[in-house]
Structure 1
Amino acid sequence: MSAERPTLPPVRLHTEAELARDALAAPLLARAVRLARWAGPGTRVGAGGELVEAQLPAAAAHLGLTADEDGAAEASEAWRLAVDTGLVEVEDPADEEAEPGAEDGPGEEAEGTVTAGENLALLTGGSPQDVLAIWLDGLEAAHADATAPFFDDFADLVGEDGSIDFDALDWDPETEAEFLDGVLGNLYLLTVSDSAAGDAPVPLPALAASMIVPDDMGEPTDDILEQVSDAMMRLDDQFRVLEPIGIVEYQPVDEALLAEEGEDATPPADDDDVTRYGMVKLTPLGLYGIRARMLDAGVEAPAIGDLVDKNADALLGGIAYYPEDAARSEVELWLARRGAGGAAAELLDAARGEDPQAPLRRLHCQQALALVGAEAEPAVRAVLDDAELGGLARVWLAELGAADVPAPPESMIFWLAVDTIAAQLEADGDLDELQGLVEGLSGQHSGFFDEVWRVDHPATADVLEAMGRLHSDKKLAKDARKAAFKARSRSGSAG
């Protein structure tokens, strides 16, 4: 039943149906679908699956794009996504059987043929999960495009054996991918850590600085600022590529600003200018997509609802370090799948234990039982004599307003006080609130520290040491430290 602190806070995702609708509305995927439906037996592609240049104007016109290089480039990008996501199938000319009279003429490149892919039908007739799986393939393709280098003449980079000379590009694909993944990870963390901050776009300079500026650096050096500026411009290009797949809302760097500064977008010195340097925000679909990529990479990225089918042990362990609102939401979903009486008994049983997380499980158990309500009373009364749960049960019944709640023995009062503070210490709660709890509990009983060191609880000594650090009354803080020493001596002699 032990719990580990999750790498990231839990994310609240939209439903799969909502996310699938967002995926279908993503501009790049929508264009890819339109081209896949437009393509037919007469559509000709090159050996790499790309539309031949002669077909690009018609493709751009079908998409309502401009009849220029930009329109052709966007049509080509949408076609590549259709190929990468299986919306169309391309037969390589090398795999086709030669037919009489079908040989390519002198100087002509072999062309492949196109048929509709199986995934095209899934986008309209499949489940939301099918749509999202196809969209995730599209995200992978867009991510690869975003980290690809820019070059003028590709032929100069291809060696005799057909391999690409990356050294000539001064480009490391793994490093580029890791950098972008790190930026997206930071953006994800900013979005899920604070609901208020998550609703606002993040300035591009701040995002770039999060990857470049060391945490312990005070005033950034000129070299660091130059690196941040370079990273901003890299990210500006990359977010322009990623926005059409639907993972971000992006306000690009102001091109007039680039012209003003000679293509050198130095990070702003004041907040008034920050929006001109680019603003980015993850969409709900982006949260889903970045989380999926992190899970594939082995990163623990929990989502609310992950524990709905788990037992009470997994629930209380899983929410141990969740923020309060997230923990409540997870418990509500869990309870909705179970009968109240059975759920209460299962929660109480899972709250037992002497491991370091046990006090926190008991705290979350008490909060979960409050959501069950009066239907939990029989299960709670059944543990009134339990050494670990009896104090919790009495507090819960009193808060419910139940009658005939037996008074706790003094030993149970002290044990519950230690357990309550131990839970808050494990949760790393607000320091001021914890100090108030420490002073409130110790102030309820005269001679508190003369008695509490005898409590048979695994965390007694640690709790008393913490009370000694936190108590604002110097005399009582000293009494707490003395009591901690006695508790450790008692524990050592008992061992």
Structure 2
Amino acid sequence: MAKSGNTGNVFDLGELRRLVGELGAAPGELRAAVLDAAGATEADGDCDCSDCGTEVLSFPPVELAADDELAEAVLRVPLVLDAQRLATWTGTRQVTPEGLLPDPFLACAELGLPSPTRLHLLWVVAVNTGMLRISRGVATAGPLALSADLPHRAMLEFWDGVVMDVLDRADEGLTGSAVVDDHLAEMLATMYAVSDGLSAATLVKGILQSHEVACQARPTEMRALSASLPGELDTALTLLGYCGLIEPSEAGRPRLTPLGVWAVRQDLIREGHDAPTGAEVAVFADLGATELVDAIIKRSAAPSAVTVWLESRTPETAARELVRVASSGTAGQRGTVGTILEELGPEAETPLREALQEPSLWRYAASWLHIRDLPAPALAQEDRTWIAVDTLASLAQLGRTAEAIREFDALEPGEDLVRLVEEMAAADHPDTITVLDLLGSRHPDPTVAKSARKAAMKSRSR
């Protein structure tokens, strides 16, 4: 999201899955939504730049209010109203060399603002959005004439700029709480994932756990923070309400306003995260399994489309359709199907048990059954090696070469990778040579790469 002092993208949540398991007091819908958001995938690409390690998070679909309703709501946001009042009060006025009002206390007194900090926030919004213009040391009326006559899209573009200005102030002490400011982006994204709102106690617990992990806080600091954070968060939520982002739900829990949902989604999309609307993913519900899998492989279907697709049919029906695709498909299709099947529980047992008869799928079916404590044939070492080859082939076919190398390295410790290469060479898999060629040309360990090239030559000769 826009700057918030947090160094970890939207969520600083490399530990998210573990933290979710510890949020015992969180309502069930929070656990489900955050686990969905934790279904992060690394951005693909084979370079070593920092952007290529960025997590792409998948958020549940949301329903946005109509543009006309959102545009009308912008004009009722207290911060926007006060920014307009400030622009009118300023008129034509000399400013400091830094482009600020020379006497902030006068402005606060005449406008009834609580502090120079609030005034500064309003000033930044007024100047950055065009309500005011500063030129040659003088502030005058800017090009933006904010009124109900402004086109809806223009009004929403204005609102987007307002929210970015607000969140950028977290680096300078937006809420008065350094900890809340530091975790503001992840808090808003978590609230985005749970439309019904979260209790203040749950928000406090999440911030404390995230802060302890991200900042490696000492016990004494955590004890002090545990005592002060509830009050600090209450103040922060009040400010966010003033900014038009937060409101109480029917149950009294803080939640994003319709304007807040729209603005947070804009930020998530800017950062490349999967934040669809319900309408965007609804079109995937009626696709056949082959069409869905192909859309995922081509990256024209967001991860959240899978949830909608699964919800539109019974687990048994969904599994049977997917098994049909995987049993006759490529490694890339099998890998994609396998990821989707992981979302299904024991209710899908029958089609997975039938898949034990499929030569290219029975190992996956056996593993799926084992994981769910259901009776299944045991897998021998050569079967696990076959799955390893298939997994690497799948990632390669999906264009995720760097991830395939990392997956390979995770299979065995250091020197055992050479032995694993030899086992892969003996696997009865149609993509064995492709995988060995990949390791031979791309693996960073010269010993492993050389072993893979030799194994590929032997496989070809056979």
Question: If the TM-score is normalised by the length of the shorter chain, which range does it land in?
Answer: 0.3 to 0.5
Q: Which has the larger radius of gyration?
A: 1
TM (normalized to structure 2)?
A: 0.42
TM (normalized to structure 1)?
A: 0.40
